[in-house]
Amino acid sequence: MRVEALFNLAFGERLNPLYYLGAISYLLTWIAVGSGIYLYVFFSTGDLLADQPPVARKLTRINSAAAGG
- Whether residue 50 is contained in a domain is answered as yes
The verdict on residue 51 lying in a domain is yes
Domain that holds residue 40: 20-69
The larger pLDDT score, comparing residue 14 to residue 68, is at 14
φ/ψ of 19, rounded to 5, equals -80, -15
In a domain, 62, yes or no: yes
If one counts the domains in the chain, the total is: 1
Give per-residue pLDDT as tens, 28-66. Answer: 888 888 888 887 777 765 655 566 677 777 777 777 777
Length reported for the chain:
69
pLDDT at 4: 86
Q: What does 2-58 look like in DSSP terms, one character per residue? A: HHHHHHHHHH-STT-GGGGHHHHHHHHHHHHHHHHHHHHHHS-SS-TTTS--HHHHH
Does any domain span residue 15? no
pLDDT, tens digit, for every residue of 2-21? 888 898 899 988 888 888 88
Residue 36 lies in a domain: yes
